[in-house]
Amino acid sequence: MTHASEHDLVQELVADHARAHRLLDRMREAPPGSAARAAAVGELVHGLAEHLEKERRVLRPAVLDWVPRDARAWADRIAADHGELHGILRKAADVPPEDERHGEVLLELVDRVAAHTRWVEQRLLPRLRLACPPEELHRLGEESRHLRAPASRRGPAGGGGWLRRMLGG
């Protein structure tokens, strides 16, 4: 059995994606406006912020260094996906949980996260795994585990400001 410290970058990112999907499921299962949904959203936002930081600081440079064909286009796609996700998260911060639009924003987030993880896992990570030496993938996995989200872990109790701070906006 592989220990977390032995995960390479690809395994690390796939594990992050699985955690995000579990949190999305918890969020969808919780009643609208409930403390359980607020907690799941808070965990999801923190986890996404941390994951996006890993992709920005570790995956994107690895793609530029190791993916032989169209590396710039692949790296630009990562940046574009992150911009879209940040935009949806900011929308979520601006729409209070009791607002009927809140559910629509969360559905948009679910769809966007699913599309992003599918693209990364099915298109990008296989290319990186083929091009990058295993030792380097392990080093990058270790590097990614040491990154943290660029904001506090404070949750939704303080309103939308916590989300804006977490997203750096």
Record the tokens describing residue 73, joined without a space. 């286009």
Q: What pLDDT sits at residue 55? A: 96
Q: What pLDDT sits at residue 37? A: 86
Average pLDDT score over the chain: 85
Distance CA(12)–CA(14), nearest Å, equals 6
Distance CA(33)–CA(167), nearest Å, equals 22
User: Full-prediction pTM beyond 0.75?
Assistant: yes
Q: What pLDDT sits at residue 162? A: 41
pLDDT in tens, 95-109: 887 788 888 999 999
Distance CA(90)–CA(94), nearest Å, equals 6
pLDDT in tens, 51-81: 999 999 999 999 999 998 899 999 999 999 9
Residue type, 89: L
Helix boundaries (H) for 59-133: 60-66, 71-94, 101-119, 125-131
Across 11-16, average pLDDT: 96
pLDDT in tens, 136-161: 999 999 999 988 655 544 444 444 44
Domain locations in the chain?
4-166
